[in-house]
Structure 1
């Protein structure tokens, strides 16, 4: 055997005739196979357990333990049952082909050996074994990939629920907090107005509770929530604008110019971006002017949300969950989100979606 070349396969020959062992071993080693030889079934079984070969050439008529018995034991063992076994038989011997295949043999060769025939039969079985190994590896990779996809789907669903909780519940709680703070400030000097703000706060508290219940329902049912609840996008945005006006005293300018109705997914994302943007404005911006615009172009859908408030340093606000949620929602539909802001210079949010998402 040429040891400078990699082995073409590990073959075990089991035959009680030394001349057969020498002939087959020489033949196979010259062709690049790694060959081991034993003269009886018991030794073969021990060697196979210690180092399973890629293929076994097994003589049928051996004393003490026949080739049939050796094959049956190997096929009964999960660790060795996949090893292909080619039986060896002499032309003048009684060879039960049906029994040979019944006990697990895959092929047979006869003495005297024809070199080309032996090599072809061996290589055929080794090829089948290699293909089986490749198939098993591919199936394992597929299982691993499917598991990874399932894990990613679960993670995405958790992120979606987290975004929905943040967007809907966060929006209500911020408004609730503003109402309560205003009521406290007015309590001594104007109890009637304070009472009105507390009444509004109670309504917002009910909405927050409903948002919690909806999120719990989503988690249980694993169904994406629809914040529009059957409303047209324009109606849902108008409600957000009125709530913002009622809470802050600032009435946003709103321009929606759509050439066609939008799909539910894009409607939900647009609504959530505007909702989160308005929430951030009255939490942090102290803006006196706010504008919202949605329009379609020949190749995209464009949403802009702008205010003249405090602004912030973009580089210092990359980890906020609200901005992160906006980016994730936009990216999930193949869009791009751009946020420009500076301290004292307000904030400008642009979300652009390809026509294919609309």
Structure 2
């Protein structure tokens, strides 16, 4: 059974209270009464009516002041107020309506008119409430749809970005491997051929101890003794160079690993090292600052079950952001100041106490963040960078990969002017999330 609407009748005349109450009760309404404005305001503190019939002319607080106080109170401001008055002048009506009243009933009034006006305004209030409810519900639906759309956009950006990056660097690694393999193989043959020629030359020197002036002069011109000493060193340096290129190519391959449809076991430290190598050019000294010092304190970690390509993207975004924060801080410092207090990024890894997870901390001594920025840093499309410099997706994608894709946690600590620390915790054994 539907609950009856409650109507508060405020009038200092007992006869009016009785007549109005009887008419409204017969019409099915629940009635509350008050003989003045003070009593009405006190009564409303304990029970809110659905509509108020308010007499204008009352001792103490009159109807206009009572209405004003009702509309100033957040709990009562939306309750419809209908004034009851013998005053019929336009100024009084305008004043009442300007204070927030919805209607006027002039005394003496007809019962049919009273009931019609009460029912009309109760229906209007009900319709308003339903409309507000629908607006709230629709707004919530639209907000959820917007969140889903933004989530889909992030996933699409992440997928396309990783796919394009993976194809690019994998292609580069492949192109590097071919000539490097050719050079490396030929260096081995070159070294063997050189040793054979040296042995042959030494045999000539033994068999022909007096080679003649032309040969002696030519040996002096080409500095034969130095050549025989230095050429093996050159070949050795070239071999070291090719091994270095092989290492770079292997790091690129590790970084660009395309994810399968399931998680695989992966060496976290290899992922970090490959990412650092990709960013090496940004760590080197330039005319404005010395090298950014990279400090690595690795614990003894097992391989973890994850999507390697996505985890490498987390390292890439966090390390690139750390470098950006350092560059931002450097704008306020001279070369000598930076040299005295060097730029640095520290990476700490360790196993959790229970052995079920790993923790990776990336700490920089860059510009740091305010409390407001720190609270928004993982929000979608939030960025502190200038227009065209950032999408606001980097750290949002990091959070999605760590928390949603791998069931881990991501925390940030930061102090303006001192730097930031991002702590990633990942389970060793994959959880069923996708």
The structure with the larger Rg is 2
When the two structures are superposed, what TM-score results if normalisation uses the length of structure 1?
0.49
